[in-house]
Amino acid sequence: MADEGAGWLGVDLGTQSVRVLLVTADGTVLGSGSAPLSGRREGVRHEQDPVRWWQALCTASRAALGSAPPGTPVGGLAVCGTSGTVLLTDGSGRPVSPALMYDDGRAKAEAARAREAGLAVQDTWALPKALWLVGEYGPGLRLSHQPDLIVTRLTGAPPPADSSHALKTGYDLEHDTWPEAAPARLGLPDGLLPDVVPPGTRLGEVSPAAADATGIPAGTPVLAGMTDGCAAQIASGALRPGAWNSVLGTTLVLKGAARDPVRDPTGVVYNHRAPDGTWLPGGASSVGAGALAAHFPDADPAGMDERARAFEPAGAVAYPLVSPGERFPFRAPEATSLLLGDPADDAERWAALLQGVGFAERLCLDYLHHLGAPLDGPLTFTGGGARSPYWNQLRADILGRPARVPEQTEPALGMAALAAYGVSGAESLADVAERMVRVRTVVEPRPDRTAAFAEPYARLVDALRERGWLPAPVADHARARLHLDTGKS
């Protein structure tokens, strides 16, 4: 068992901020800190300056450690990042390109080439971006995932990538290797792809220089992390087969646990792997809370939630994409946001956006059921969207099933648990996470509301099908499950 007196540091490199938590083995939060991030969005382009990540970490880690009891030992740390965010670095790990973010869509042609080479990749995955970056900056450089840059600054040396972040770069988790033939056919230069290790592997320790900058004690073990979606899954405790976690942040990510991979020939659902070998199937949508911020940048969310109660269901039906193109529960690079109907006022538009995210979430679960994924375990809500009690209730109503909401809904908690697991090595990750996760409440669905939302959900399914984005068999399957609890197998 990990030292119960120690604090475990989790670092989450998000889209809008860097967040840091210091947590004990029993889930007590000793300190927290955050610092904002900004990026550049222009059409399909979405990039950030990777130097800002380190600056934000220094601010957030000092805040987290400064609010903890003096003298608290730090047992270890792990870092998660946005899945598919990559950049090029030189031999010492310094960035030589901007970071192409998780939903940057500039590598559409490169993704098509990769699929022709036999790789099931999506347009926004890291492998197509690697091809695009090599085309722009040339060979002789190293591909780095978002956490790799931070670990380099923490330890003083470029690390191997963790297998979770490497998945969207084409790493074969079933055989623990980079595919041999495809990279050569695609023209990836030698030395571009890093070595890969399992999550929880010790990568080094915090150097004296990094300690001075961050406040993290020198010598603190640094463990290989996982993607933000997997980090949030760990933070939810959803690591037993059949359990699922729905992470609602800027976008929506669903992650579950299964004894075997969930096979999806379209590549919409992909499988991460926990350190103990459990498969973690799931997918990342381009729908999410970012649509609220885009439409209502100055809104008071709690006040708008209260006004939205009058519209259940709203007269308008939305599919609120944060950026062009959809990745899950269907692949449609040409997809755009939908709004069927005309909201009477801002309150009804807000309600339609909230409900639209819930409908997308239901469609994700219906698609997973279509693929044969186990869904009969508990469902947990995490991510920034889970801070809204009203939205939690609305989502449970639309899904027709109960949902657990932990006290801490941040991916940083998952990285704290992974650090504790990696240092101790004596327990399963599920055991460590379940002891660290504290469930705040269980939201029960209201059957009358579930029934009321069936008709607008069906309208949305039909609209997505008519546009050619949602395959007909998936639409038929979703319609057949209209009045069922989404946890039913």
Statement: residue 387 has pLDDT above 80: yes
Statement: residue 7 has pLDDT above 60: yes
In the predicted model, what is the mean pLDDT of the chain? 94
Residue 394 backbone dihedrals phi, psi, to 5 degrees:
-60, -45
- Peptide bond between residue 406 and the one before it cis (omega within 30 degrees of 0): no
The token duo for 229 is 């979606």
How far apart CA 85 and CA 125 sit, in angstroms, is 8
What pLDDT does 1 receive?
44
Long-range contacts, stretch 465-470, CB < 8 angstroms, 24+ apart: 467/335, 468/332, 469/326, 469/330, 469/332, 469/334, 469/335, 470/329, 470/330, 470/332, 470/363
- Yes or no: say if 53 and 96 are a contact pair by the CB < 8 Å rule: no
What pLDDT does 488 receive?
77
The highest-level CATH class for domain 7-225 is alpha beta
Do the first three CATH levels of 7-225 and 240-406+441-480 match, i.e. the same topology?
A: yes
How far apart CA 466 and CA 444 sit, in angstroms, is 33
> Exposed (0-12), middle (13-18) or buried (19+): which is 180, by Cβ within 10 Å?
exposed
Q: How confident is the model over 32-68, as pLDDT tens digits?
A: 999 999 999 999 999 999 999 999 999 999 999 999 9
Band of residue 425 on the pLDDT scale cut at 50, 70, 90:
confident
Q: CB neighbours (10 Å) of residue 158?
A: 20
What pLDDT does 401 receive?
96
Q: How confident is the model over 206-248, as pLDDT tens digits?
A: 999 999 999 999 999 999 999 998 998 999 999 999 999 998 9
The structural domains of the chain, with segments of one domain joined by +, span 7-225, 240-406+441-480
Q: How confident is the model over 148-199, as pLDDT tens digits?
A: 999 999 999 999 999 999 999 999 999 999 987 777 788 889 899 999 999 9
What pLDDT does 2 receive?
46
The token duo for 460 is 């949305």
Q: How confident is the model over 92-135, as pLDDT tens digits?
A: 999 999 999 999 999 999 999 999 988 888 889 999 999 999 99
- Yes or no: say if 285 and 259 are a contact pair by the CB < 8 Å rule: no
Mean pLDDT of 422-427: 85
Band of residue 295 on the pLDDT scale cut at 50, 70, 90:
very high
- Yes or no: say if 279 and 373 are a contact pair by the CB < 8 Å rule: no
Bigger pLDDT: 4 or 18? 18
**Residues recorded for the chain:** 489
Statement: residue 320 has pLDDT above 70: yes
Map 253-310 to HEC letters: EEEECECCCCCCCCCCCEEEECCCCCEEEEEECCECCHHHHHHCCCCCHHHHHHHHCC
Band of residue 3 on the pLDDT scale cut at 50, 70, 90:
low
**Taking the model in full, what pTM does it have?**
0.85
Nearest to 312 by CA among 130, 141, 455: 455
CATH architecture of 240-406+441-480: 2-Layer Sandwich (3.30)
